[in-house]
Amino acid sequence: MRQQRLFWLSNDDRLHFPPVETALTQPNGLVAVGGDLSPERLVNAYRQGIFPWFEEDQPILWWSPDPRAVLYPDKLRVSRSLAKRIRNAGFRVTMDRAFRAVMEACAAPRRQSAGTWITTGMLDAYTRLHQQGLAHSVEVWDGDELVGGLYGVGLGAAFFGESMFSRRTDASKVALVWLVRHLQTEGARFIDCQVSSSHLATLGAVDIPRARFIRELDAALQQRPDGMGWTFDDGFHPLRAAEQESRA
């Protein structure tokens, strides 16, 4: 049996991570500890299939779990009730209009947990990525009130989902549907959902082996080296996009 050792990062080694194959099995996918949340380190981590997740009183923890949860755009499941809400709820959906506000809403305490993994350092780090055009948000509005949304990182033809929130029924799902349909128009290969959940499974997310995820990630990075577009076209609507795709 291979003896597993925890890899510690230093702040002066911004780009180096160990191979994801060396990640611990318990806890599943822990690759390394320490380092910082500089834009250079974060981008390098995502490009290798690694993401940070830690709580306020912990050092920075870097993960690459096996299996990996992904959502392929053409496998998105939109229930009748969700489609009806998209059509009739009167929500307005935007992209990259309120990135920090979306992150802060995702960081707010939830019923099942009093704490948050979206620390002040994470807020600042991903805001810097957003300012560099690498992190993005989708916002759902009821009038002028922000009622739902999500954020993540876009590299190549892949989107790495980080978190979502709802203050109205299905508002986060509405944001996800808009994101997925937009990504389809951009030729995205997948949304990285990191770890599976029953909520994501109902929307079509599946688990794949980490080795396959890394292969598909490498292909996505090569497919769109300059990245994807991050604005909704005039007249874009996710349900119409899906209907046009089904007729094609």
| CATH topology for the 69-247 domain | Aminopeptidase (3.40.630)
Query: What CATH code is assigned to 7-65?
Result: 3.30.70.3550
CB 137 within 8 A of CB 98: yes
* 246: three-class secondary structure by DSSP: helix
Q: Supply the Cα-derived Rg of the chain in whole angstroms.
A: 18
Taking only the tens of pLDDT, the chain with its 248 residues reads 455 678 999 876 667 899 999 999 999 999 999 999 999 999 999 999 999 999 988 999 999 999 999 999 999 999 999 999 999 999 999 999 999 999 999 999 866 555 578 999 999 999 999 999 999 999 999 999 999 999 999 999 999 999 999 999 999 999 999 999 999 999 999 999 999 999 899 999 999 999 999 999 999 999 998 899 998 876 777 876 555 444 44
Spell out the domain ranges in the chain.
Answer: 7-65, 69-247
pTM across the whole model: 0.92
CA distances from 125 to 22, 36, 132, 180, 228 (A): 26, 9, 11, 25, 21
Per-residue pLDDT at 117: 85
pLDDT at 245: 47
What lies within 8 Å, CB to CB, of 54 at 6+ separation is 60, 61, 117, 119
